[in-house]
Chain A
Amino acid sequence: NAGVTQTPKFQVLKTGQSMTLQCAQDMNHNSMYWYRQDPGMGLRLIYYSASEGTTDKGEVPNGYNVSRLNKREFSLRLESAAPSQTSVYFCATSGGGRPTDTQYFGPGTRLTVL
């Protein structure tokens, strides 16, 4: 089992370009999440999907959109990238529905916006 996979691993964009970060899981989990990690800021939730067919904003949703394509896949789109979106992006999953659920993280996408 691959667990949680993310593509690409690294990406460099110019300001104004668009891109989609892909996340897939083979754990049969209901809930999926997108976080960004910045130095000194810890993890901040961008969007989440509690179950297939639903998405909700997290703490820092501006400048991003998401799609829960099916139970396995959850993508994050930057329509017009800005230097402030330079970060490491993590996708995570959990079984969903219980506060005791562990989150399982992908390896991350390191994005630089010039």
Chain B
Amino acid sequence: GDSVTQMEGPVTLSEEAFLTINCTYTATGYPSLFWYVQYPGEGLQLLLKATKADDKGSNKGFEATYRKETTSFHLEKGSVQVSDSAVYFCALAPPGGSYIPTFGRGTSLIVHP
């Protein structure tokens, strides 16, 4: 079945550092790929998405590129802020069937001033 694997956290960075959170997936065909973010005490919200190979999703300085050849969708940001501290979830939705997304286990990011 479909699966999403994320790097384990927590990831701890200083403000203005470069961020990479790795995400790889297993799926049949060409799924849609998502990054969701969860701030403390809140529900998840969409950060960015990409729906076909080589697409780049971007939002709030975050980027991720849909790499079919490596089945990856790594999240990057050039300069993190304290306000980026949150849990980040990678997810995929299959191209057929019920379209219900499969989520990774989440990666906690802690940014220190």
Contacts and interface: CB of A to CB of B under 8 A. Distances in A.
Contacts of A56: 98
Contacts of B32: 99-100
A96 B93 CA distance: 12
A50 B98 contact: yes
Interface string B77-99: 00000000000010001111011
A53 interface: no
A108 B45 CA distance: 12
Interface residues on B, range: 20 to 34
Contacts of A45: 100
B56 interface: no
- Tell me the interface secondary structure of chain B in the complex: loop
A87 to B, nearest CB: 14
Given A99-B94, A99-B95, A100-B51, A105 B105 contact: no
Contact of A90 (B34, B44, B49, B101): B44
A43 B49 contact: no
11 contacts: A42-B89, A45-B100, A48-B100, A56-B98, A99-B93, A99-B95, A99-B96, A100-B49, A100-B93, A103-B36, A108-B42
A58 B32 CA distance: 20
Given A33-B100, A96-B99, A104-B46, 11 more contacts: A42-B105, A43-B103, A48-B98, A48-B100, A99-B31, A99-B32, A100-B32, A100-B93, A103-B46, A104-B45, A105-B45
B43 interface: yes
A102 B33 CA distance: 10
A43 B89 contact: yes
Nearest to A33: B100
A13 to B, nearest CB: 21
A90 B93 contact: no
